[in-house]
Amino acid sequence: MPDTIAPSLETHDLTVRFGGHVAVDAVSCTFRPGELTAIVGPNGAGKTTYFNLISGQIPASAGRVMLEGKDITRLSVAARTALGLGRAFQLTNLFPRLSVLENIRLVIQARTRRGFRLWSMAASQHDLLQAADAVLERVRLTHLAHLPITALPHGDQRKVEVAVLIAMEPRVFMFDEPTAGMSIDEAPVILDLIAGIKRDPAVTVLLVEHKMDVIRSLSDRIIVLHNGALVADGPPAEVMASSVVQEAYLGKELIDV
């Protein structure tokens, strides 16, 4: 990646401690538009926690998060979202009793900042419904639009999770194990969607993933976390070839490949 492109997201010595345990340990890293970075590391390495610090669910103990040059370390989750940060969760995290369509419509309503309208009818804001329909079409969930989330099988719930992120139209996308728990024939749909998102040179994608073939086909760069610390950062081939990384830090899956 040419360094001339201004970074979209940076973390500087980002750290969080839970009691005595340092879950994320002074991680400094820069992400640029047009780049998909895979974040790997064994379970408990701190990948999800690193995401939580970036998107604001957990306050940092030390260090800074910068989004497009702006320090967002102290901002609320919602404020970070409004600035263009979008996050999909490792565990499906939707509005369970609301319909698929409403789940997406709410996202677009948030993006267009219409949440504080108290005296108009949500059901008659057709532009939001149409935009939500378009997103559902893109993830091929139109036929399920009116079902509540609870009625969907796990794989489709994961798709809605990705649809939410697409509807947010962020400039920085964060995926936390998007295909976890999906069957082999379902996962490609999600991966195609991520590949589609990546095609836009203006977006930055961070992807936590275990499956090596997925990483190889999608990523431009790999960073490795271990015990909360950043231990490797580079082009996929280089990082995968590094014996130190292979032996000491990566899960079995990586070594097998």
Is residue 55 within the footprint of another protein (CB under 8 A)? yes
Q: Which stretch binds another protein (CB under 8 A): 80-88, 179-187, 204-212, 224-232?
A: 80-88
- CA distance from start to end of the chain: 25
Of residues 38, 40, 45, 207, which one binds ligand ADP by CB under 6 A? Answer: 45
Of residues 7, 46, 84, 170, which one binds ligand ADP by CB under 6 A? Answer: 46
CA angle 86, 89, 94 (to 5 degrees): 95
Is residue 92 within the footprint of Mg ion (CB under 5 A)? no
- Residues in contact with ligand ADP, total (CB under 6 A)? 10
Distance (Å, whole) CA 138 – CA 161: 13
| Minimum CB distance to ligand ADP smaller for 89 or for 101 | 89
Q: Write the DSSP assignment of 121-146 as a string of letters.
A: -GGG-HHHHHHHHHHHHHTT-GGGTT
Distance (Å, whole) CA 45 – CA 145: 37
Q: Which of 188, 248, 180, 238 is nearest to 218 (CA)?
A: 188
Distance (Å, whole) CA 1 – CA 246: 24
Distance (Å, whole) CA 213 – CA 234: 17
Is residue 116 within the footprint of another protein (CB under 8 A)? yes
Min separation Cβ 235 and Mg ion, Å: 24
Site for another protein in 151-180 (CB under 8 A): 164, 168
* One-letter amino acid for residue 191 of the chain: L
Question: Is residue 210 a contact partner of residue 203, using CB atoms and an 8 Å limit?
Answer: no
Q: Which stretch binds ligand ADP (CB under 6 A): 47-55, 127-135, 141-149, 161-169?
A: 47-55
142 binds, among Mg ion, another protein, ligand ADP, none (CB under 5 to 8 A by kind): none
Site for another protein in 82-111 (CB under 8 A): 82, 87, 89, 93-98, 102, 105-107, 109-111
Is residue 120 within the footprint of ligand ADP (CB under 6 A)? no
Distance (Å, whole) CA 88 – CA 51: 10
Q: Which stretch binds ligand ADP (CB under 6 A): 45-53, 158-166, 179-187, 243-251?
A: 45-53
Is residue 86 within the footprint of ligand ADP (CB under 6 A)? no
Min separation Cβ 95 and another protein, Å: 4
Q: φ, ψ for residue 167 (rounded to 5)?
A: -65, -30
Q: Which of 6, 40, 20, 10 is nearest to 221 (CA)?
A: 40
Q: Which residues bind Mg ion (CB under 5 A)?
A: 48, 90
In the complex, the residues that contact another protein under the rule CB under 8 A are 55, 57, 76-79, 81-82, 87, 89, 93-98, 102, 105-107, 109-111, 114-125, 164, 168
